[in-house]
Structure formats: C-alpha cells, structure tokens
Structure 1
Amino acid sequence: MVNLIVNLAFEWAALAGLTDTPGTGGRLRSAPEDFRVEEVPAYPLSGEGDHLYLHIEKTGHTTAHVLRELSARLGVRDRDVGVAGLKDRHAVTTQWISVPARFGDRVAAFALDGVRVLETRRHTNKLGLGHLRGNRFVVRVRDAAGTADTAAATLAELVARGVPNYFGPQRFGLRGLNAEEGLRVLRGESRLRDPRVRRFLTTSVQSMVFNRFLSLRLERGLFDRLVVGDMAKKHDTGGVFLVKDAGAESPRAGRGEVSATGTLFGKKARPLTGDAGELEREALATFGLTPEAFASRRGDRRLTRVFPEEARVTPEEDGYTVAFTLPRGSFATSVLREIMKTDVDAAGEGNDDEGEGEDGA
C-alpha cells in the first residue's frame, strides 16, 4: 500500500455529474420540516407474532439516540431492538422500530420530545438492518435562482437515465475525517481498538473508492454503457452477470434494464476484470490502495445508478418542493446535487439514509 497525499474531504465538484441542465441553486434545511424522509417497508406486517413494530415520527434526534432512549425506558436489551436503517436528525422522518411484544404495555408510556409513536403492529420477526424497500423524500428548496420547470426537466432526465449512485457526504464525516482514520486502520496505523468503529471507518474508504470508480465512468461516457469485465445487475430480478460482449449488452443498459456495479472491496467481492478492472485499479491507485488492503472486510457489489420513482416537482413562492423515492442505501443528496448544481450538504451533516444496504460490507 502506497501512502499518497490526497484530499479526503468530500466535494461534489470532484465527482463528475450527469446532467447538463442549469442548476437552480437554493437553500436546504432552513427548518426540519423542509426535509422529510418516510421509510418504505420491505414487506407488509402480519399483525401477529412475538415482535411489536413501532411506527415513529421524529424531529431533532438521530435514530441511534431514539433507540438508546427506547431501550432504557422500556427496559429492553439493545440487541433486542430492531431497526431497518438510520435517519437524519435535521429532518422530519418516519420509520419502524421493533421490540419484543412482551414489552408492549410499556410503549404507551414512552415519551420523548420530538418523537411520536404513530401506530404499533405485531409481526413474526425482529426488524433487521436493511429490511426496507427504500425511502420517500420530500424536500423544500428555498431561495432558488432557477425555476421549478428547470428542476422538473432535470428530474425527468434522472428518472429516464438513472441517478449516479454516489455515497453522499454523510458517509465520510466532517472534512473527510472518517475516511482519513479508515485509511489509517487499513494501514495498521490506527490506535482505535473497538472492532465496530474500525469496521465503520473502513466502510468510508470502500465508499470513497466506489465514488471515484463511478466518477471515472461518468467522465468517460460509461454511465449508461457497459464494458468488458463489468459485473452488471438486472434491475427487474437482481441477477448479476459478467459482461463478455459489451456491444451486445450495452443496449440493455441504455434502456435501463441493467446497470454496471462497482466493488465494495473485501474477501467476498472479487475485483473486476478486463476494461472494467482497469477503471477499478485506477480508482484504487488514486488513494494508494490495492484490493488486498480490504481483506478484513466481507465486501459487496453496489449499483452505479438507481432510478427515482414517484418523482415530482411542485412550484413554491420562494422556490420549489421536490419529491422522489429511492431504493435503500441510496442518498437523496445525489439527486439534489444534479438539480441544484451546488455542493449539497458538503459538510457531512445529517444522514439521508446512512446505514442502509452496504454498511456490513
């Protein structure tokens, strides 16, 4: 592993964009209610079973804080509380949390400022990380220089072509500190001993390399095309296959039927080969890394693009409201960056849906 001096602070300007439409500019998160996130469950609840699901709405709290308070006040062990993903503190968010049903009589007494239990329902299993279909975002953009029509034109292109599935700035910490310490962990230079913290920090490095790989594809006109060596994923079935004939498979990518994936490096995720492998090695070399540096991680594959659903733009007096649904593990900031053409949430505050999908990679 080569120690290169690189700037690890997250900057949208360092990552290639997709759309050429004018940016609207504008301001986000003037108030918590300007950024709303609604969790979309992965499956319907049965109404019976040994687990009680709480549908909560929260404002001004991280999900982790609500889980700690719920565990302490109900007397439930931390490991017996289930959650599908983490939600932003600087927003109004709704999500499901599960606890053993035998603690149900204590739920009615649970009270925390900024948190409401909207409903409860029983189910057969504990809610697990990643057990959600996605998230519905409703975001108010204030003081926009561009019009709602401009925002709608960009959103329509994203619906048709897909959104670059970048990890948002929330993954990397303030000024890239998570990624910096993650590199030290991989190099054996970190003094941190907590294995969970070490895993979390190296996740930032996996994400950093993925973002660079995706940016290279956009720079070279490969966003909605495939090259030899790609591991492509079918959007309808989830099946993954090796691309041997790029000319034959690229039309399917152009139609949005399949997309390339990038490697979240680890022992279970083999590096790409062929032309795709060359791109991947170039991304790794930017940070002086090799696949072997991630031997302690499990590894995974991540789609290079996702398609927003239920997308719309509503004009407002001082800007517009944009709404869309994304699959789990995807960041709303990737959509907002394309529409606004600004360094959206670059400081790394908040977490659209941090923790969903690839956290265990």
Structure 2
Amino acid sequence: MDLVFRPERYPFLTAGLPGVGGVIRLHPQDFQVEEVPAYLPSGEGEHLYLLLEKEGLTTREVFEFLRDELGIPEKEIGVAGLKDKHARTQQWFSIPRRHENALCLLENLRGVRLLHADLHTNKLRTGHLKGNRFRILIREPQGGKARAEAILRALEQRGVPNYYGPQRFGLGGVNPARGYELVKGGKGRGSPWLKRFLIGSLQSLLFNDWVALRMERGLYDRVIPGDWAKKHATGGEFLVEDQGEAERALRLEISATGPLFGRKYPEAKGEARALEDEILARYNLAREEFRARRGARRPIRVPLSEWRVEEAPKGLWLSFFLPKGSYATSLLREVMKQEVEAPEEEE
C-alpha cells in the first residue's frame, strides 16, 4: 500500500503530445502570479484593502510582519489565498482601517511593495478570489512555441486535470501516510491544525487517485448517473440522473466532482459511487473514518482561459488564468512533460 505522493503515478491528459521540457523558477521574476479578486474594495468601510507585490517572501511572512511590526491582531488580518515564495506575486490583504497610519512601516519589509489601498465594508477572507493569472518563463525549452500551443489548445478544449500539486503533500510526499495513521488511530501528536492538515493531505491523495482512475476508464470528460457535477459558469452542483448531461460535459460546461471524504458532503450514487469505493478499498479505508473532517467535492478538471505563448531570447513565456483552488503545476507538467518541483506556497 503506497501512501507516498509520487507525481509520476498520475497520467498526463495530453500524453500523445510531446512536451517542451526546460527549467522554471531560475529567478523569482520567472514566475509571476496576479491574484484576481472576487470583488474590488468599494471605497468605504472600516477595512483597508492592500494590494501588495512581494518577492522572496511567503504570504505567511507578510502576515506575520503585519501582526508583529504593525501591531495588528492576527484575527483581524485578512487574506484570500497563499502565494509562492520563489515568485513575483500580487495579492490582496485587509487590515482594520484604524491601522492605516502604520502602513509607512511596510517600507521596512524588503521584497514588498504597496501597489494600491482602498476601503471596504468587510474583512477579506480565505477563498475571496476568482483565481490567478500566471506568467511563467520556461528556460531552455526543447520544443518551440507550436509544441506548447498544441498542448494548451488541448487543455482549453478538455480542461486542466485538477490534481492537487506536490506542495499539498509535504517534503518527500509523506504527509498522506501520517494522515492515514490519524484516520486509523484517531489520535496522535500535534496541534489540531496539524492533524487537520495531515488528514487533508490523505484526502488529497485519494482525490488524485480518483482523477487518475477516471482518466484510465475514459471518464475524464464524461459524467455518469450518480455523479455530482459542477457547473463551471455558476459553481452550482447537482446530482446527475439524466444521460443527456453527457453532451454538456463534452462542451466543458459541467464536470464530474470527486470526494474529499468527510462527515457531511454530497455523496455519489450507483456507478459513480462504485468508483469512489474502489479508491477507498485500495487503502482499506471507509467513508466513516473521515468523520473528523467536514468533507467536500472538487471538480475533476478546471477550465483554462486567457492563455498565450510568447517566444523570447530566454525561452518561452506562458500566460494563463486558472480558477481558485487549482494548481499551476498541473498545467506545467502537461506542457513540459516532466514533474514540476513543489513551490513553497501556492494557491
């Protein structure tokens, strides 16, 4: 029973198209991320929204600076998502308006630049974003622009496999095994947050296995009776009962969702449920053993939009938008046809 995350065990969607190889993240400016908010600040309210550009810092390090150096209570600082350390990223933070005069201290945090500030009525919370725009340089590519474009065109048509990226599984990919011990034993050392994180890592491994199984069975861009499907335009989920939904799936209007097992989430039925049971049986697990987590469903794929490829003296620049919760590593491994190292943080 292999509970260590190994990216090579997950099939490529575009296996028939050769990749470009190459190297990424040689310099922070090679990997650029722009957070796309769910809404913009309204211009009034008691919360100050800050658009910060950072380089060489994790989101948590900026968060801790706001807490320790500006004296803002941790619970009053808002952030929508995490961004990679080894990149140039733009993301929103929120702080109480009464701390506005302390913002001059931001100049003491090397690698951070304030781009914009405005007021809003509520604190920024996790998930308050549409997604992220990426601009990534692949250095030393072994294939040209046309090769990358062919892969991205296929991903645009069929969706990007929504695998969890390597950063979800810890150093060496061993966190799912630690989560398994907690699920089976019910106890263990560490804080409640750490336990949730480790069990979450196991949930993520099971989800990735489910994605791979659907790919192998020819069900990646299909829905079957008993599936819970997600509408990409609205985010709504519904139980598939009609074979006629298959055409909508082929048009990438809807996609099957897989389980993040827990005590309360929409459960699949029939043939769709049997596929989930097959993954659980692989590890001698049962749904009831995940009652410590709430549970949720996650789409098997995400739409790709706003993509383009530019040739440059240094290599190939890829630009694209992905919705929240998805990983740029899933797209990059398809384009490069090689495993991509885990960033220190990424939404």
- Give the TM-score taking structure 1 as reference length: 0.93
Does residue 96 of structure 1 match 2:92?
A: yes
SS of residue matched to 1:53: strand
SS of residue matched to 1:74: coil
Supply the RMSD in Å over aligned alpha carbons: 1.3
Q: Which residue of 1 aligns with 2:115?
A: 118
Distance (whole Å) between structure 1 residues aligned to residue 191 and residue 26 of structure 2: 36
Q: Which residue of 2 aligns with 1:15?
A: 10
Correspondence for 2:231 among 229, 234, 256: 234
* Aligned residue identity for 1:16: P
Contact 2:228–2:266 (CA under 8 A) maintained in structure 1: no
- Alignment deviations for residues 154-192 of structure 1 (CA, whole Å, 9 cap, x no partner): 111111111111111110111112222211221226532
Distance (whole Å) between structure 2 residues aligned to residue 149 and residue 190 of structure 1: 53
Distance (whole Å) between structure 1 residues aligned to residue 130 and residue 234 of structure 2: 14
Correspondence for 1:174 among 154, 171, 174: 171
Q: Which residue of 2 aligns with 1:351?
A: 345
Q: Which residue of 1 aligns with 2:59?
A: 63
Unmatched runs of 5 consecutive residues or more in structure 2: none
Deviation at 1:109, TM superposition (A): 2.2
Identity of aligned residues (%): 48
Unmatched runs of 5 consecutive residues or more in structure 1: 354-361
Deviation at 1:74, TM superposition (A): 1.0
Which is further off, 43-52 or 183-192? 183-192
Contact 1:38–1:137 (CA under 8 A) maintained in structure 2: yes
Does residue 48 of structure 1 match 2:44?
A: yes
Distance (whole Å) between structure 2 residues aligned to residue 9 and residue 166 of structure 1: 12
Contact 2:81–2:127 (CA under 8 A) maintained in structure 1: yes
Q: Which residue of 2 aligns with 1:291?
A: 287
SS of residue matched to 1:108: helix
* Aligned residue identity for 2:189: L
Contact 1:137–1:325 (CA under 8 A) maintained in structure 2: yes
| Length, aligned pairs only | 345
Deviation at 1:153, TM superposition (A): 0.9
Distance (whole Å) between structure 1 residues aligned to residue 116 and residue 123 of structure 2: 17
- Alignment deviations for residues 319-344 of structure 1 (CA, whole Å, 9 cap, x no partner): 20101011100000111111111011
SS of residue matched to 1:192: coil
CA distance 1:63–1:155, shift in 2 (3 Å): same
Correspondence for 2:185 among 188, 193, 196: 188
Contact 1:271–1:291 (CA under 8 A) maintained in structure 2: no
Q: Which residue of 2 aligns with 1:36?
A: 32
SS of residue matched to 2:12: coil
Contact 1:166–1:331 (CA under 8 A) maintained in structure 2: yes
- Give the TM-score taking structure 2 as reference length: 0.96
Contact 2:3–2:176 (CA under 8 A) maintained in structure 1: no
Deviation at 1:352, TM superposition (A): 2.5
SS of residue matched to 2:206: helix
* Aligned residue identity for 2:344: G
Contact 2:266–2:297 (CA under 8 A) maintained in structure 1: no
SS of residue matched to 1:145: coil
- Alignment deviations for residues 95-114 of structure 1 (CA, whole Å, 9 cap, x no partner): 00001000000012222111
SS of residue matched to 1:223: coil
- Alignment deviations for residues 195-246 of structure 1 (CA, whole Å, 9 cap, x no partner): 1111111111111111000111111111111112111111222222211233
Deviation at 1:318, TM superposition (A): 4.1
Which is further off, 233-242 or 304-313? 233-242
SS of residue matched to 2:167: helix
CA distance 1:331–1:297, shift in 2 (3 Å): same
Distance (whole Å) between structure 2 residues aligned to residue 175 and residue 193 of structure 1: 19
Deviation at 1:129, TM superposition (A): 0.4
Q: Which residue of 2 aligns with 1:357?
A: none
Which is further off, 97-106 or 191-200? 191-200
Distance (whole Å) between structure 2 residues aligned to residue 236 and residue 133 of structure 1: 12
